[in-house]
A and B are shown apart, each in its own frame.
Chain A
Amino acid sequence: MTELYAVLAVILFTIGLVGFLVRRNALVIFMCVELMLNAANLLFVAFSDHYGILDGQMAAFFVMVVAAAEVVIGLSIIVMIFRSRRSTSVDNETVLKG
Chain B
Amino acid sequence: MILIPMISGTAVTFWICAVLAILGAVGLVTFTKPVYSALCLALVMVSLAVIYASLGAPFLFAVQIIVYTGAVLMLFLFVVMLVGVDTHDSIRETLRGHRVAVALAGIGVLALLVLAVVQGVAGGSGNVAQANDAAGGNVQGLAGLIFSRYVIAFEATAALLITAAVAAMVLAHPEQLRRKIGQTERAAKRLEAYAESGVHPGPQPNSGVFARHNSIATPALLPDGTIAAGSVSPVLAQRVVVGDPEELWAPHDEVLAAIEADGDDEETAEGLIESDLAIEDAQIEVLDESSTPDESVPDDSAADQGEDSPASVEPEPTAVQVAHGDPPITVDDGYTPADDLDDESDEPKKTTGKKGKHND
Q: Is B68 an interface residue (CB 8 A)?
A: yes
Which of B158-166, B200-208, B227-235 interfaces with chain A?
B158-166
Q: Which residues of chain B have C-beta atoms less than 8 A from A49's C-beta?
A: 55-57, 126-128
Q: Are A17's CB and B106's CB within 8 A?
A: yes
Q: Which residues of chain A have C-beta atoms less than 8 A from B68's C-beta?
A: 34, 38, 64, 67
Q: Which residues of chain A have C-beta atoms less than 8 A from B64's C-beta?
A: 41, 64
Q: Which of A46-98 contact B (CB under 8 A)?
A: 46-55, 57-58, 60-62, 64-73, 75-80, 82-83, 88-89, 91
Q: Is B90 an interface residue (CB 8 A)?
A: yes
Q: Which residues of chain B have C-beta atoms less than 8 A from A46's C-beta?
A: 55
Q: Which residues of chain B have C-beta atoms less than 8 A from A9's C-beta?
A: 117
Query: Given contacts A15-B25, A71-B72, A76-B167, is CB(A54)–CB(B117) below 8 Å?
Result: no
- For B30, the closest partner residue in chain A by CB is A19
- For B135, the closest partner residue in chain A by CB is A54
Q: In the bound complex, what is the Cα–Cα distance between A72 and B79 (angstroms)?
A: 10
Instruction: Tell me which of B45, B48, B126 has the highest count of chain A C-beta atoms within 10 A of its own C-beta.
Output: B48
Q: Which residues of chain A have C-beta atoms less than 8 A from B320's C-beta?
A: none
Q: Are B114's CB and A12's CB within 8 A?
A: no
Q: In the bound complex, what is the Cα–Cα distance between A61 and B145 (angstroms)?
A: 11
Q: Is B87 an interface residue (CB 8 A)?
A: yes
Q: How big is chain B's contact interface, by range?
A: 35 or more
Q: Are A27's CB and B146's CB within 8 A?
A: no
Q: Are B167's CB and A73's CB within 8 A?
A: yes
Q: Which residues of chain B have C-beta atoms less than 8 A from A57's C-beta?
A: 57, 59-60, 128, 138, 142
Q: How many contacts between A and B, using CB within 8 angstroms? A: 240
Q: Which residues of chain B have C-beta atoms less than 8 A from A41's C-beta?
A: 48, 60, 64
Q: In the bound complex, what is the Cα–Cα distance between A31 and B29 (angstroms)?
A: 9
Q: In the bound complex, what is the Cα–Cα distance between A97 and B41 (angstroms)?
A: 33
Distance in Å: Cβ of B89 to nearest Cβ of chain A = 5
What is the number of residues of chain A that contact chain B, defined by CB distance less than 8 Å? 72
Distance in Å: Cβ of B115 to nearest Cβ of chain A = 10
Q: Are A55's CB and B105's CB within 8 A?
A: no
Q: Which residues of chain B have C-beta atoms less than 8 A from A10's C-beta?
A: 110, 113-114, 117
Among A66, A76, A91, point to the contact of B168 (Cβ < 8 A): A76
Q: In the bound complex, what is the Cα–Cα distance between A62 and B12 (angstroms)?
A: 28
Q: Are A61's CB and B60's CB within 8 A?
A: yes
Q: Which residues of chain A have C-beta atoms less than 8 A from B109's C-beta?
A: 13-14, 17
Q: Are A58's CB and B145's CB within 8 A?
A: yes
Q: Is B76 an interface residue (CB 8 A)?
A: yes
A residues lining the B interface (CB < 8 Å): 1-19, 21-25, 27-28, 30-32, 34-35, 38, 41-43, 45-55, 57-58, 60-62, 64-73, 75-80, 82-83, 88-89, 91
User: Can you show 28 pairs from A to B with CB atoms below 8 A apart?
Assistant: A3-B118, A4-B14, A4-B18, A8-B21, A10-B113, A12-B22, A13-B113, A17-B109, A24-B90, A27-B34, A28-B28, A38-B44, A45-B60, A50-B126, A53-B131, A54-B141, A57-B60, A57-B142, A64-B63, A66-B157, A66-B160, A68-B161, A70-B164, A72-B75, A75-B75, A79-B79, A79-B82, A88-B84
